[in-house]
Amino acid sequence: MTLSGYEALFFWIFALAAIFAGLLTVMARNAVHSALFLISSLVSVAALFVLARAEFIAGVQILVYVGGVMVLFLFVIMLVNVGAEERGSEEIFNNQRQVAASLIFCLLLVGGVLYSVNRGYQGLQEQHKLTPEVAAVQEAIRNQSLTASATGSSRMTTDSESLAGSLYRYASLPFEIASVLLLVAIIGSVMLARTLRQEASADDLGPEVLEEEIVRDPELAKLEPQSE
Amino acid sequence: MIMFNLISPTLAFLFQEAPRSGFEQIKYSAQNPDLAKFLVIGALLFIIGVAGVLTRRNIIVIFMSIELILNAANLNFIAFSRYLSLTGDPDAVAGQIFTVFVIVVAAAEAAIGLGIVIALYRNKETIWVDEIDLLKW
């Protein structure tokens, strides 16, 4: 797979955007800024997915992350907002020795990964020798069989079609398990985020715990009759 | 047949990669980003995420860094899926299927993790991970 022309240009733009937005996510002082930089990083990666001809996954990425996960993050940031971070009175990183140790670890990881990617890719290239020019010709031939879009200037891909076919044909059991996992996650997060008051009114507290809490907060005793 | 024998070495010569040196090589590879570039971008995103998990004190930013790590893995899956589909592998779309499942697990993880953050904040009144040391000996 080799990109060329405008695709190469857009590859570099989005790759740099993803990496810088990722760095700013980690380094921003304000957690809301972190969340917004994370969105830009994820959208840039979605654009890289489009360049790798995975249009459906790019759409899913934007819908799930920007539409769902990010809203959740922003809500939680608003709920637990402490404010000390933005005013600059609190340190945002761990103490210096821990930061130095983890940065050294990360630099070692960068070196090792870059070295092994380059060495491994050389071996892979020897296995599948294909110059960009030949690949472009092959791609053009493959595109001939796709149906033209309404404007006639481009062609419709079969990416979603092949993904859906394989997903339901070979991975239908994992698909069902994933749906159960999501259900468990929904129930679990609702259970975890309840207040003591909500737990008491649903009669979910043990009798001893309830006794103790009533001493601290007499209001809880009034909630009890509702659950009976 | 004779014509074909004449033409095919010429074509092979035309499509052969010309020997390049130094700067030309770098320029050529920058103008034609390939699988290795995708993998390098994925690796860098992964390492940025690891650095975030290891160094930040805010537990919400740590969760965001975990999302970055999972996304870097997705980028690798998609890049390899594309590469294998060009080599003619019929199962190349498996990479995209894995990506769907990674996204599902990431969404579930974010929901549970943020539920835990809210419960933690309600009980301990803090989101700094170095102050949450109940299990510390």
Residue B83: which CATH number? Answer: 1.10.287.3510
Domains of chain A: 1-92 (1.20.120.1200), 94-146 (no CATH)
Mean pLDDT of chain A: 83
Predicted confidence band of residue A89 (pLDDT cuts 50, 70, 90): low
Nearest-CA distance from A225 to chain B in Å? 25
Name the amino acid, one letter, at A86: E
Separation of first and last alpha carbons in chain B: 82
Contact check, Cβ <8 Å, B37/A133: no
pLDDT at A226 over 70: no
Q: Where are the beta strands (DSSP E) in B10-121?
A: none
Residue B14 lies in a domain: no
Q: Say if B97 falls within a structural domain.
A: yes
Q: How many domains are contained in chain B?
A: 1
In chain B, which residues have their Cβ closer than 8 Å to the Cβ of A185? 107-109, 111-112
B25 touches chain A (CB under 8 A): no
* B54, B118, B127: residue with CB nearest A102: B54
Q: List Cα–Cα distances, A114 to A13, A19, A105, A170, in angstroms.
A: 20, 15, 14, 34
In a domain, B105, yes or no: yes
Query: Cα A14 vs. chain centroid, distance in angstroms?
Result: 16
Helix ranges (DSSP H) in chain B: 2-15, 22-31, 35-55, 59-86, 94-124
Which residues of B are less than 8 Å from A2 in CB distance?
Answer: 32-34
Domain assignment present for residue B2? The answer is: no
Distances, alpha carbon A135 to alpha carbons A7, A55, A117, B11, in Å: 14, 20, 22, 14
Q: How far is B1 from chain A (nearest CA, A)?
A: 22
Q: Count CB atoms within 10 A of the CB of residue A72.
A: 18
Global confidence as pTM: 0.83
Give which of A107, A82, A116 is closest to B54, Cα–Cα: A107
For B83, the domain range is 35-131
In this complex, the residue of A34, A48, A159 whose CB is nearest that of residue B64 is A34
Residues 6+ positions from A29 with CB-CB distance below 8 Å: A85, A86, A88, A92
Buried-exposed string A106-117: b where 16+ CB fall within 10 A, e elsewhere: beeebeebbeeb
Q: Is A86 exposed, middle or buried (0-12, 13-18, 19+ CB in 10 A)?
A: middle
Cα separation of B81 and B94, whole Å?
A: 7
B129 DSSP 8-state letter: G
pLDDT at B9 over 60: no
Inter-chain touch A60–B103, beta carbons under 8 Å: yes
Is B27 inside any structural domain?
no
Task: Tell me, yes or no, if B51 comes closer than 8 A to chain A by beta carbon.
Answer: yes
Q: What is the pLDDT of residues A21-45, one digit of tens each?
A: 999 999 988 888 999 999 999 999 9
Termini Cα distance of chain A: 66
Nearest 5°: the CA angle B76, B78, B84 is 100
Residue B21 lies in a domain: no
Q: With CB atoms and an 8 Å threshold, state whether A54 touches B68.
A: no
Say yes or no for a CB contact (<8 Å) between B54 and A105: yes
Residue B62's pLDDT band, with cuts at 50, 70 and 90, is: very high
B77 is a domain residue: yes
What is the interface size between A and B, counted as CB pairs within 8 Å?
Answer: 247
Residue B119 lies in a domain: yes
Residue B18: pLDDT band by 50, 70, 90 thresholds?
Answer: low
* Minimum mean pLDDT range among A121-125, A149-153, A169-173, B114-118: A149-153
What does the pLDDT average to over A107-115?
Answer: 89
